[in-house]
Amino acid sequence: MAATLSSPPPPQQLQPSPFYEIVKGPSGLDKVVLRGARGCSAEVYLYGGQVASWKNDHGEELLFVSTKAIFKPPKAIRGGIPICFPQFGTHGNLEQHGFARNRLWVIDDNPPPLPVNPAIKAFVDLILKPSDEDLKIWPHSFEFRLRVALGPLGDLSLTSRIRNTNTDGRPFSYTFAYHTYFSVSDISEVRVEGLETMDYLDNLKGKERFTEQGDAIVFESEVDKVYLSAPSKIAIIDHEKKRTFVLTKEGLPDAVVWNPWDKKAKAMQDFGDGEYKHMLCVEPAAVEKPITLKPVRSIDGPSWLRFLIFCVLYRSTSLPLIFDAGLAWMLLRPFCFCHFNSPALCSFCEASNMFHLSMRMIPTGLHLLRLQLRGVRWRRCGWLPQTAKAIPAEIIFVDP
């Protein structure tokens, strides 16, 4: 049985690791600090199994946590990445967003095998099981395993494996979300791409169904929408901070976009009045159609819900993604307009530090994101191998 607030888990003895440590956070809450090889980091609280910090190798915080967040059970932590399970929002009879986000998880010392990139060293496995009190309000037995990992380039991934362990053969259904709060410079300078032409439910209009009409989602007032059957790749473009978040989701068909704006921000006890300007929630989710799980006898057959985020910094007017189809990776190389058609990189721009990006590796899945060419000239460069394809990617264009 998982520990509850009334029965804290016994202290755990962990093997020493250069990639994580357990420290005390506010109110004495235990948190795991993950440290990546490039200097990036993440913090995961055992309370809620919640990621509350993700920093890149420049030390910049990429997630939003309110300065008024309450780190005291049973209140959920306002910010980071709360886990909404077994209910998202008010789509059911439980408390809003379910109970997983305000339960104590424990470190899973012996998790079942999970395919991983061998380059990933900084990760932690957590597990949540229902308490007797949980079973009274939601009468289903389950095992919820969560892995939080930092990739070799500072990318953050969350992988959830949920099993139905009911002994009476009953299936159960649940809704779910990774309620991700992103830190942004100014909400008016941010746009979301990848959700164009998607149908959505507008929670501000009684969950009425609409179709997105704009080329990109921009923000001028409160937003609370559930985009249905959303693509697996979504981009959040922050012009002022010159960075793009690229979200990849698996097993979660929907995407929630939320910003409370000024009036609701002022009404929330654990949210600063003006903090809505510096946050945006884009949440991989399963809302419209609940996920149904049958009981399983072994670890095979869980519900897999995976979420991967890349943060791409950029400084140039254009950065083409160059994908080598003969390899399992994609190379990201910077160019500038003055040498855009040259077979070599622009040494002047690199020397003058115009780019945050040098050559680095990113997963090939990013090239599946919606791509557009908007008035940018490109041609195949002679130095590319025959197996390569050059793809101009709008997600990392910045206006000149």
End residue of a domain, out of 288, 312, 336? 312
Q: Which residue has the higher pLDDT, 358 or 307?
A: 307
Query: Is 315 a residue whose pLDDT tops 60?
Result: no
Q: What's residue 113's pLDDT?
A: 79
CATH classification at residue 71? 2.70.98.10
Residues 293 and 329 both lie in one domain: no
Element spanning 190, H or E: strand 190-193
Q: Which residue has the higher pLDDT, 44 or 215?
A: 44
Catalytic residue chosen out of the listed positions 275, 283, 288, 394: 283
Query: Is 259 a residue whose pLDDT tops 80?
Result: yes
Alpha-carbon gap, residue 397 to 392, rounded angstroms: 9
Query: Is 156 a residue whose pLDDT tops 70?
Result: yes
Residues 192 and 326 both lie in one domain: no
Q: Which residue has the higher pLDDT, 210 or 351?
A: 210
SS3 state of residue 204:
helix
Q: What's residue 105's pLDDT?
A: 98
Q: Which residue has the higher pLDDT, 152 or 52?
A: 52
Q: Which residue has the higher pLDDT, 15 or 397?
A: 15
Which range has the worst mean pLDDT, 287-296, 329-338, 349-358? 349-358
Q: What's residue 215's pLDDT?
A: 81
Q: Please state, for a pLDDT cut of 90, what percent of the chain lies above it.
A: 55
Residues 344 and 308 both lie in one domain: no
Q: Is 95 a catalytic residue?
A: no
Which range has the worst mean pLDDT, 9-23, 221-235, 331-345? 331-345
Length of the chain: 400
Query: Is 343 a residue whose pLDDT tops 50?
Result: no
Residues 264 and 338 both lie in one domain: no
Residue 3 lies in a domain: no
Q: What's residue 57's pLDDT?
A: 86
Residues 288 and 344 both lie in one domain: no
Query: Is 163 a residue whose pLDDT tops 70?
Result: yes
Residues 320 and 305 both lie in one domain: no
Domain of residue 270, residue span? 20-312
Q: Is 356 a catalytic residue?
A: no
Q: At which residue do the structure tokens 């989710």 appear?
A: 285
**Residue in 247, 253, 205 with CA at minimum distance from that of residue 227:** 253
Confidence of residue 153 (pLDDT cuts 50, 70, 90): confident
Q: What's residue 58's pLDDT?
A: 87
Residue 187 lies in a domain: yes
Residues 120 and 266 both lie in one domain: yes
Q: What's residue 17's pLDDT?
A: 56
**Residue in 1, 103, 131, 86 with CA at minimum distance from that of residue 46:** 103
Q: Which residue has the higher pLDDT, 368 or 207?
A: 207
What are the tens digits of pLDDT across the range 192-206? 999 999 999 999 999
Q: What's residue 82's pLDDT?
A: 98
Q: What is the pTM of this model?
A: 0.76
Query: Is 85 a residue whose pLDDT tops 90?
Result: yes
Q: What's residue 178's pLDDT?
A: 96
Residues 243 and 116 both lie in one domain: yes
Whole-number average pLDDT of the chain: 77
Q: Which residue has the higher pLDDT, 211 or 392?
A: 211
Query: Is 162 a residue whose pLDDT tops 50?
Result: yes
Confidence of residue 55 (pLDDT cuts 50, 70, 90): very high
Number of structural domains found in the chain: 2
Catalytic residue chosen out of the listed positions 43, 91, 179, 193: 179
Q: Please state, for a pLDDT cut of 70, what percent of the chain lies above it.
A: 71
Residue 323 lies in a domain: yes
Query: Is 7 a residue whose pLDDT tops 90?
Result: no
Q: What's residue 296's pLDDT?
A: 77
Alpha-carbon gap, residue 78 to 74, rounded angstroms: 12
Q: Which residue has the higher pLDDT, 343 or 23?
A: 23
Helices (H), 197-326: 261-267
Q: What's residue 16's pLDDT?
A: 43
- End-to-end alpha-carbon separation of the chain, Å? 57
Query: Is 247 a residue whose pLDDT tops 70?
Result: yes
